[in-house]
Every structure is written in C-alpha cells, then in structure tokens.
Amino acid sequence: MSFSELAERPETTPYDRLAALGIVLPPPPTPVANFVTHVAEGRLVFLSGQGPTEPDGSQHTGKVGGDVTVADAYGHARLTGINLIAVMHDALGDLARVKRIVKLLGMVNATPEFTEHPAVMNGCSDLFIDVFGARGVHARSAVGFGSLPGQITVEIEAVIAIED
Amino acid sequence: MSFSELAERPETTPYDRLAALGIVLPPPPTPVANFVTHVAEGRLVFLSGQGPTEPDGSQHTGKVGGDVTVADAYGHARLTGINLIAVMHDALGDLARVKRIVKLLGMVNATPEFTEHPAVMNGCSDLFIDVFGARGVHARSAVGFGSLPGQITVEIEAVIAIED
Amino acid sequence: MSFSELAERPETTPYDRLAALGIVLPPPPTPVANFVTHVAEGRLVFLSGQGPTEPDGSQHTGKVGGDVTVADAYGHARLTGINLIAVMHDALGDLARVKRIVKLLGMVNATPEFTEHPAVMNGCSDLFIDVFGARGVHARSAVGFGSLPGQITVEIEAVIAIED
C-alpha cells in the first residue's frame, strides 16, 4: 500500500491499516528497569527505546553487517516499530490521536565498517507510513552503535505529537 | 528510600531528599567548548550531556564491560545524575520547578559485546526517582557508544519539563 | 567574527553573516530513504541527521582518530552545519525565523579510543554562533558512534525553536 494511496484515504484509521497489514499489536512492553515506556509533555510524547522483541518475549540479537543481514535487520526494525505502536496505543488509548510521528532515532548494533543503516531503519519508517499515512512521515537519524542492551540488533526511540 | 514512600510524601522537596541521601550538589559544570549546559524553550529544558566528573574535576574513564565493572559504572551514572541535578539547580534556581524528568539518553562507553546497559543507567534513574519522586519517573534509552569524550565511562543527556 | 561582536550587531541577518563568511547555501539535502529532512511541531523543529556532503554530492568518509584527523573532522562538522542551515532555510523560508538553536547531537564516526569529540563538534557549534549570534548558542552532546551511514565521518541532528 503506497503512501499516496493512503493519503487519499484519510477515513481509514491506523487500526484499519494494521489489520490490512495482518499486524496484531502485542501487549505494551514492560520496561526492564527503573523507567517507563513514555512520558507526555504538552503535545509531545517521548517514547523510550524499544527493541526487536517477538510476542513470545524472545529478542533478535547480533551485529548487523556481521552475523545479521540487512534484510533480516529490516525485519527487526519493522518489529521494533510494531512494539512502538503498541506503546502508543497503550499511552493514548486510540492511535487516531497520533497527530504526527515527529522524530525517530534508529540505533543499529552494527560492525564498525557497516554502511547501510538507512536501509535497516526503513523497516520502521515504511511501517509508520503504511500505518499512519501522511501523519507517519518523520524526521530521523539512522546510525551505528557499538553495542545495545542484550546485544539486540536494533533499538528505536521516538518523539510523537498528539492532537489537543 | 523507595519510590512509593516518596510518592506518599509530596511535601518533601528535592533538597530534602538530596540531604537525606547525603548528596552535596557541586557547582554547575563548565562546558568544555563552544556551547552551554542547557537551553529552555517553552516548558521544556534540554540539558547537554554530562559525565562522571568528581567535585575535584577528575573523571572516571574506561570501557564498561572491559576494565570497568557494571557496579562501578552504576556509580558513575549516579555521579553523572548528580551533575545533571546541579545543572537543573543552576538553570532553574529552585529544583521544585522541575515538573517532570521527561527523557534521558544514557550513553555507555562499552565494549562491543557488552549487554547490561540498563543496569548501568539505573544509577541515574534510581537517583532521579529518589530525589524527584513521581516527577523523576522518565522515558529513556540506555545504549552503547563506541567512544566518549576523554574516554569517560558514561554520558547522559536529559529533557525535562518545568512548571509554568 | 566573535560572539560578542555579533551580539552587538543584532541588525545583521543570518544571511549577512553567511555572506561575510563566504558561505553559499547548497540546495536542501534529499533524504536517502523514506523520511523527511524536518518536522515542525509547535515552536520546535526537529531536523534529521545530516552529514558532510559537498555541493557536488560527494561525502567525507573514514574513522576520526584513525585515517581522519581532528582538524579535518572539524571541517566536516562545519560542512554538516552548512547543510543543516540549508535545511532550516528550506523549512522556514527565512533564517531570521530561527529563534534559537536548542540542541545538537554531534555523532562522530570514531575509533574506540578517540577522545576529542568536542573539538570535532566545535566545527558546527562555532559556525552556528557565527551565523546566528546569541540565537545560535545551544545545548549539545558530542559523542562517538561505532559506525555511520556510508562511513561518513560525522552526522549531526538538531532541535531548533522558531518565532511565533
């Protein structure tokens, strides 16, 4: 489903689009430590970094560019995006309250010589545009980290804006 | 002092809690280059990254997961949190103006195979909840960087919200 | 041109200062993937990470502290700053609408033992103060990443505030 097609169908909700994509939202992730999954301040909501956790709780691990391919890592970024949407649903009650995905920081657990971080992060960016349409188009950085918690392959944090 | 205990005592101020913890705030850190420790915009204040600098100016250095243990790095994250609180005190005049610790980015100078970033970052998160109570509960990411200035072990930046 | 000199000359515009520095703004960068260069929300504008791309499209690559010197990387951070200003001009129509450079995240593609990230990032910080005067003084973090897209030497993302 292309961005232009979605832009022409503003009456569809994010839930319609999730269903069309065959995505079932998992329960919101439980923080592994002394913090929360999101804090709202004014019209902005800051979301904690999420990772590629499957509904059964297992996580995808490894170094992208080493034992993890770009294609696999794209899928992990998409899965991370699903987990971020689960947080948004939990935080807002209704995904229709998402006015805009503002900014993503895409953190790739990569080898020192890896170059294709944008291709990995597109797994999340493509999903957000599929689900939120024009409201899902965001600013971002997609960069390589030396290590991530539990050696997960990707972690993504987000700033979103909500309707009044 | 637990979070629930603090939540039941809203009349205590952050200064009371700092005193109860035996913490003396240092002077606000001086930026090492051409920038400032914080910028306020509307109700948000963006704090520059701070590190584990002792009151005498010395800094804790090394690679967490290599020559630096998780327990030591937890202490460094706590010390970094104290320095961030010193910036807040300098910026706001009164820590009671902190409405919410919104978002932390916990940057750990770690070996490529390190996995316990959340346990390190709890040194700062635990402190903020001890000092600010419910207002100290935040969103965060805790991730591994390839290197940090002067090879400090941790660096943390923050977004906070202030009362009108 | 010093900060104090600029502070005394509020009547000069950012364009006057760019001209005095001999800087010609390039066209705004085209995102390499499924995102945009900036998103505005309220008085804040979040800018996607930009890199050291020359007007001809070539990029500076390599590891700072390895095959790339601090002096060269300072120049790359300055070039990245020019590209961020090009995005601001494109986003706002008039750079005089920049009320404040709020926060920068300076990402240096460095060797694991590199220590001089602030000296690199000053290339951008110095430029912003030269061009925007007191409005260009910002909070920031300058830290080392394990890898960056295409192995560019530096990437910088920004949060700015705009006039009503």
Q: B102–A33: do the CB atoms touch at under 8 Å? A: no
Which residues on adjacent β-strands are paired with residue A147? B144
DSSP per-residue letters across C73-142: HHHHHHHHHHHHHHHHHHHHS-GGGEEEEEEEEEEEEB-TT---HHHHHHHHHHHHHHHHGGGG--EEEE
Tell whether A92 is covered by a domain: yes
In whole angstroms, what is the distance from residue A24 CA to residue A97 CA?
19
In whole angstroms, what is the distance from residue A92 CA to residue B31 CA?
38
Tell whether A7 is covered by a domain: yes
Q: Please tell me the total count of domains within chain B.
A: 1
Contact A74, A115 (CB under 8 A): no
Tell whether A29 is covered by a domain: no
The pLDDT value recorded for residue B12 is 86
In whole angstroms, what is the distance from residue A129 CA to residue A117 CA?
18
Chain C residues with beta carbon closer than 8 angstroms to that of A68: none
The pLDDT value recorded for residue C3 is 46
Contact B147, B100 (CB under 8 A): no
Q: A148–B144: do the CB atoms touch at under 8 Å? A: yes
Residue A12 banded pLDDT, cuts 50, 70, 90:
confident
Q: Which of C30, C34, C105, C107 to mutate to test the interface with A (most CBs of A within 10 A)?
A: C34
Residue type, B44: L
The pLDDT value recorded for residue B149 is 98
Tell whether C69 is covered by a domain: yes
Q: A147–B110: do the CB atoms touch at under 8 Å? A: yes
Q: B139–A33: do the CB atoms touch at under 8 Å? A: no
Q: Angle at CA B150, nearest 5°, toward C85 and C66?
A: 70
In whole angstroms, what is the distance from residue C120 CA to residue C75 CA?
8
Residues above pLDDT 90, as percent of chain C: 82
Q: Which of C141, C162, C164 to mutate to test the interface with B (most CBs of B within 10 A)?
A: C141
Query: Residue C163: how many CB atoms within 10 A of its CB?
Result: 11
In whole angstroms, what is the distance from residue A144 CA to residue A89 CA?
28
Q: A146–B146: do the CB atoms touch at under 8 Å? A: yes
Range of the domain at B49: 3-26+43-162
State the smallest CA–CA distance between residue B117 and chain A in angstroms.
5
* Residue range C12-30: mean pLDDT, rounded: 89
Taking only the tens of pLDDT, chain B with its 164 residues reads 454 454 455 578 999 999 999 988 898 888 767 889 999 999 999 999 999 999 999 999 999 999 999 999 999 999 999 999 999 999 999 999 999 999 999 999 999 999 999 999 999 999 999 999 999 999 999 999 999 999 999 999 999 999 87
Q: A139–C46: do the CB atoms touch at under 8 Å? A: yes
DSSP per-residue letters across B106-129: EEEEB-TT---HHHHHHHHHHHHH
- Name the percent of chain A in helix, strand, coil, to the closest 5: 35, 30, 35
pLDDT in tens, A86-131: 999 999 999 999 999 999 999 999 999 999 999 999 999 999 999 9
pLDDT in tens, A13-70: 999 999 999 988 898 888 767 889 999 999 999 999 999 999 999 999 999 999 999 9
Higher per-residue confidence, B72 vs C5: B72
Chain C residues with beta carbon closer than 8 angstroms to that of B41: 43-44, 100, 102, 161
Write the DSSP symbol of residue B64.
B
Q: Examine the pLDDT at A3 and tell me if it is beyond 50.
A: no
Q: A149–B115: do the CB atoms touch at under 8 Å? A: yes
Residue A8 banded pLDDT, cuts 50, 70, 90:
low
The pLDDT value recorded for residue A88 is 96
Task: List the one residue out of C15, C7, C46, C51 whose CA is nearest residue C32.
Answer: C51
Q: Examine the pLDDT at C4 and tell me if it is beyond 50.
A: no
State the smallest CA–CA distance between residue A40 and chain B in angstroms.
8
Give phi and psi for A129, each to the nearest 5: -75, -35
Tell whether C116 is covered by a domain: yes
The pLDDT value recorded for residue A5 is 55
The pLDDT value recorded for residue B3 is 46
10 Å CB burial of residue C22 (0-12, 13-18, 19+) is: exposed
The pLDDT value recorded for residue B94 is 95
Q: Examine the pLDDT at C124 and tell me if it is beyond 50.
A: yes
Q: C137–B46: do the CB atoms touch at under 8 Å? A: no
Residues of B with CB under 8 A from a CB of A: 42-44, 65, 100-104, 108, 110-119, 121-122, 125-126, 129, 137-147, 159, 161
Tell whether B36 is covered by a domain: no
Residue C1 banded pLDDT, cuts 50, 70, 90:
very low
Tell whether B38 is covered by a domain: no
Tell whether C66 is covered by a domain: yes
CA-nearest residue to C35 within chain A is A138
Q: Angle at CA A45, nearest 5°, toward C48 and C106?
A: 30
Q: Examine the pLDDT at C142 and tell me if it is beyond 60.
A: yes
Residue with tokens 């010197």: C69
Q: Which of C140, C148, C154, C163 to mutate to test the interface with B (most CBs of B within 10 A)?
A: C140
For chain A, how many helices (H) and strands (E)?
4, 5
Residue with tokens 């300058």: C142
Sheet of C154-162, strands arranged across: C38-41, C44-50, C154-162, C98-109, C139-145
Q: Which of A30, A34, A87, A105 to mutate to test the interface with B (most CBs of B within 10 A)?
A: A34
Residue C164 banded pLDDT, cuts 50, 70, 90:
confident
Q: Examine the pLDDT at A2 and tell me if it is beyond 60.
A: no
Strands (E), chain A: 38-41, 44-50, 98-109, 139-145, 154-162
Q: A149–B112: do the CB atoms touch at under 8 Å? A: no
Q: Examine the pLDDT at C2 and tell me if it is beyond 90.
A: no
ipTM of the prediction: 0.92
Question: What CATH number does the domain containing C109 carry?
Answer: 3.30.1330.40
